[in-house]
């Protein structure tokens, strides 16, 4: 990797360039339900008032997703910011592989089918059960079931992770009931497809970054061993839990096992094949480890069945996990972090557990580890293991403490950090908690701004996608807030399609670029963050990077 060229127009700054990523914070489309604008963001407002700022696209094609109807997410958002360019992402790659028939011609699919045809066992599908298109998509699951039947698989069993996060918070039956009808149409004398187990995505299976392995253990017990509360159908399980736990939303629904005559219909047995059909990696690695690792210590797996396990994609390109996968991930190369390391830039990346992997692994193009051990430091602050609405401030103060230490030390040229509040608390749907999370984060923005000014540095504030800016469901035609039976607003827990901020706070400004109204370029996506950081560090971005927001004089 060649070093970046110095920018002769840059006059230099004494302090570091601090990139602050406010996860899940956008500009709301609707006044009602915009928790960001409803919050007292005094520090952010003050910084924007004296700094050039613009809006960036953070969804759809601007981050490599199939269409502009697709919500952005933290994975693709950090990929785009770190890569400086837009790469086709998981959803698009999987859809293309299916449409071309390439998936069915691959060795992984053929091996999964051959295994169950030989053993007479079941082809199991585990994954997020919705069309949110952030971690998975129902259409991919249906296509695989149809193809499995064509290819002669005798049985299919589906283990559903209920969403309520990237889609409506209580929309589970809108997916379960049509899917049951779909399976009924497929079933014949030679093919038997059924839902076997399930539960909410924040209760079982889909933990990430080792935050709560008990989630994975609960998922393992219901999916693999069929151990758990039994129901005759997924619909019965969902309706029962909703009656027993008033106000519970889909992502938190308890685990369940579908059984007949007291026996689970879909235990995972020797000779079966298992496909984890999420295409996004962060919430796929732990359940994959449970299936694949020999020396596994996170919980007692009991008897581990001998199965052929595959992921939808390769979830970790450096560790090559899983061993088998259906679709190749995007090959993201020449990311900003690699250029900075080659150029001698001293870098710190930090966040709490929930987003630590985003400012490291995803920001670095789905790469584990550092580009240069001597030039880079990574800091993870352990997240609380409890519902985020109970601690909506999360670890934003601790993240800021470490950031202030780093700024004062003079050891770093560039610091990037992620405040998870807007996203993680936004997903809870608890409006009051989101307001609290925003105002807690705003206090930290003020602290960082003061430290940056004292050090003679620059702060670039942005976000990876929207969420807290769109907390109520709205009628798509009229824009009116959707109401619950009691007349209260219906909470929205998914990401938004809204643009995100880009603010350049440069208190030691020396006149290199335009300032004032309309000073920054418009119509760009968050992939322009990389070139902007490189400019602020005094270098010239690579020619094929998306343009910086700065207009040099």
Question: How many Å separate Cα 21 from the centre of its chain?
Answer: 14
Q: What gap in Å lies between CA 19 and CA 42, rounded to an integer? A: 19
Its CATH architecture, for the domain 91-327, is 3-Layer(aba) Sandwich (3.40)
Query: Residue 208 has what pLDDT?
Result: 86
Please report the pLDDT score of residue 90 as a whole number: 83
What would be the CATH architecture of the domain defined by 14-88+347-540? 3-Layer(aba) Sandwich (3.40)
On whether the CB atoms of residues 467 and 461 are closer than 8 A, the answer is no
Question: What residues contact 244, with CB distance under 8 A and at least 6 apart?
Answer: none
Q: Output the pLDDT for position 378.
A: 98
pLDDT of residue 52: 97
User: What pLDDT does residue 222 have?
Assistant: 98
487: tokens are 């007349």
Sign of CA dihedral 152, 157, 161, 163: positive
Among candidate residues 74, 95, 136, 197, the one labeled active-site is 74
CA 84/CA 423 separation, integer angstroms: 22
Distance, in Å, from the CA atom of 63 to the CA atom of 92, rounded to the nearest integer, reads 11
- Give the Cβ contact number of residue 464 at 10 Å: 34
**Are 14-88+347-540 and 91-327 in the same CATH fold?**
no
Structural domain boundaries in the chain: 14-88+347-540, 91-327
74 catalytic, yes or no?
A: yes
What pLDDT score was predicted for residue 317? 66
- pLDDT, residue 397, reads 98
Check if the beta carbon of residue 5 is closer than 8 Å to that of residue 406: no
The Cα 37–Cα 28 span in angstroms is 8
How many other CB atoms are found less than 10 A from the CB of residue 211?
16
- Chunked in runs of 10, what are the mean pLDDT values of the chain (553 residues)? 95 97 97 97 97 96 87 91 94 93 97 98 98 94 98 98 94 98 94 98 93 96 98 98 96 98 97 96 93 97 98 82 92 96 98 96 93 98 95 98 98 98 95 98 98 98 97 89 90 92 98 92 97 98 98 93
């Amino acid at each position: 990797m060649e070093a970046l060229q110095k920018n002769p127009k840059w006059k230099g700054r004494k302090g570091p360039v601090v990139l602050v990523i406010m996860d899940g914070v956008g500009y709301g489309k609707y006044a009602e339900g915009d928790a960001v604008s409803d919050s007292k963001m005094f520090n952010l407002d003050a910084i924007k008032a004296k700094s050039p700022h613009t809006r960036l696209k953070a969804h759809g094609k601007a981050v490599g997703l199939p269409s502009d109807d697709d919500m952005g997410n933290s994975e693709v958002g950090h990929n785009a910011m770190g890569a400086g360019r837009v790469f086709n992402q998981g959803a698009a790659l999987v859809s293309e592989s299916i449409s071309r028939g390439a998936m069915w011609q691959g060795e992984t699919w053929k091996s999964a089918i051959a295994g169950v045809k030989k053993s007479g066992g079941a082809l199991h599908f585990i994954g997020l059960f919705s069309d949110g298109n952030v971690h998975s998509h129902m259409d991919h699951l249906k296509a695989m079931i149809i193809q499995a039947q064509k290819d002669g698989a005798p049985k299919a069993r589906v283990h559903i992770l209920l969403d309520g996060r990237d889609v409506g918070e209580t929309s589970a039956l809108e997916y379960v009931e049509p899917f049951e009808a779909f399976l009924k149409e497929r079933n014949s004398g030679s093919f038997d497809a059924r839902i076997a187990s399930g539960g909410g995505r924040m209760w079982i299976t889909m933990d990430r970054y080792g935050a709560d392995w008990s989630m994975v253990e609960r998922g393992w017990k219901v999916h693999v061993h069929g151990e758990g509360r039994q129901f005759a159908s997924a619909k019965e399980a969902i309706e029962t839990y909703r009656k027993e736990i008033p106000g519970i939303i889909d992502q938190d629904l308890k685990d369940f096992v579908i059984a007949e005559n007291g026996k689970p219909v879909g235990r995972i047995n020797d000779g079966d094949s298992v496909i984890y059909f999420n295409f996004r990696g962060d919430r796929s690695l732990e359940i994959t480890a449970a299936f694949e690792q020999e020396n596994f210590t996170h919980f007692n797996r009991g008897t581990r069945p001998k199965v052929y396990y595959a992921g939808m994609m390769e979830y970790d390109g450096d560790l090559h996990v899983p061993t088998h996968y259906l679709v190749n991930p995007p090959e993201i190369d020449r990311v900003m972090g690699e250029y900075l390391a080659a150029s001698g830039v001293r870098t710190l990346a930090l966040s709490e557990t929930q987003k630590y992997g985003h400012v490291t692994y995803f920001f670095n193009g789905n790469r584990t580890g550092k580009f240069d051990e001597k030039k880079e430091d990574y800091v993870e602050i352990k997240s609380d293991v409890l519902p985020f609405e109970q601690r909506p401030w999360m670890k934003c103060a601790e993240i800021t403490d470490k950031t202030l230490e780093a700024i004062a030390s003079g050891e770093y040229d560039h610091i990037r950090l992620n405040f998870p509040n807007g996203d993680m608390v936004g997903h809870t749907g608890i409006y009051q908690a989101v307001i609290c999370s925003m105002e807690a984060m705003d206090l930290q923005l003020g602290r960082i701004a003061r430290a940056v000014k004292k050090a003679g540095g620059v702060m670039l504030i942005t976000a990876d996608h929207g969420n807290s800016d769109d907390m109520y469901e709205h009628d798509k035609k009229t824009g009116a807030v959707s109401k619950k039976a009691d007349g209260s607003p219906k909470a929205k827990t998914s990401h938004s399609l809204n643009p995100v901020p880009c603010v350049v706070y440069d208190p030691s400004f020396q006149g290199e670029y335009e300032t004032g109204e309309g000073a920054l370029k418009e119509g760009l996506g968050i992939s322009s963050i990389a070139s902007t950081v490189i400019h602020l560090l005094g270098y010239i971005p690579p020619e094929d990077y998306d343009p910086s927001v700065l207009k040099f004089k």
